[in-house]
Amino acid sequence: MRVLVTGGAGFIGSHIVAELIGRGHDPLVLDLAKDGRDVRDPHAVAEALAGVDAVCHQAAKVGLGKDFGDAPGYVSANDLGTAVLLAEMARARVPRLLLAGSMVVYGEGRYECLDHGIVRPGPRAESDLRAGRFEPRCPVCGADLAPGLVTEDAPTDPRNVYATTKLAQEHLASSWARATGGRVISLRYHNVYGPGMPRDTPYAGVAALFRSSLARGEAPRVFEDGGQRRDFVHVRDVAAANAVALEAMEAPAGVTTATGPAGFTAYNVGSGDPRTVGDMAEALAAACGGPTPVVTGEYRLGDVRHITADSARLRYELGWRPVVPFAAGMAELATGQAVSFATGP
């Protein structure tokens, strides 16, 4: 299969390219940082789509941004870029799109109240965050909540500009699929980490920021109380999920499942092993013998408290399995020494 990978020179994209080559596919790369070709440029996209069977769309501006002044840049890079790509795919009759989605479309994760069952807490108030009250409360009775795993049919509730653009990408892709009869899979990544993570940038994941602090001999600074639950998934597992999903979209024309002739399907991509941000900071510090993490109580208004994945749909329908354990992956990230695990379904 000949696959155009937008953002293919980036952190996740480069691992996807390597995975596709390893599986015998023919990936092509369109990447602004690598060759100056922008996914917002219709001519560059049209040229890149020549002879392509599918597109793996990884190009995006990531992170929460610094303030709302960043909104035009996010919308341009993520939503205008996706719209241009889809328009050119329609003209070129390229029928399959694999989209880099994100768990941020859900907002807060799944919560259960002992008395009121599954509830959806609203955004956390800044007054609560200032006072160190980080846990969402039941919107009905104000009681403590138990966090759980989010499934793909959970309501979407983006809480920041980046999250809003990622949800808009899915809506654009779904509209394209209906209009053209194409197939779309959105892989909603959870917290991806591993070799090649960018260092010391506003858009780097917290794992990269912690690692950079330790490399300077400084203690990682953990926001809130460190109890935020996330699903940290290794980039090689994410690359394997992309390859599996692309291959699934090659289903015969008579197949009528979501990955068959046409339609949009979202899959969570997580390790299935939720950990706290504090757990991650401690694992990185221990692996490189660095200073003990410092819990600061700082916060960011755009952050959510707990968001962890239920990736059962991806496992059951497409046969994907993550293989890199948390401890080994964090040790690799901290030390730079590769760990060897077989990837794939």
**Cα–chain center distance at 70:** 20
Distance CA 183, CA 286 (A): 44
Q: Which 3 state secondary structure label does DSSP give 309?
A: strand
146-150 and 308-309: which strand pairing?
A: parallel
Tokens of 131: 């006072």
Give the number of other Cβ atoms within 10 Å of residue 176's Cβ: 21
pLDDT computed for residue 110 by the predictor: 92
pLDDT computed for residue 343 by the predictor = 47
**pLDDT value of residue 65:** 64
Other C-beta atoms within 10 Å of 254: how many? 7
Pairing of strands 26-30, 2-6: parallel
Read off φ and ψ for residue 328, nearest 5 degrees: -65, -40
pTM over 0.85: yes
Tens of pLDDT along the chain (345 residues)?
A: 999 999 999 999 999 999 999 999 999 999 998 888 999 999 999 999 999 999 999 999 987 666 788 899 999 999 999 999 999 999 999 999 999 999 999 988 899 999 999 999 988 999 999 999 999 999 999 999 999 999 999 999 998 899 999 999 999 999 999 999 999 999 999 999 998 888 755 445 788 889 889 989 999 999 999 999 999 999 999 999 999 999 999 866 444 444 544 699 999 999 999 999 999 999 999 998 889 999 999 998 878 899 998 999 999 999 999 999 999 999 998 887 766 655 444
* CA atoms within 13 Å, Cβ hemisphere of 301: 9
Exposed/middle/buried for residue 75 (C-beta within 10 Å: 0-12, 13-18, 19+): middle
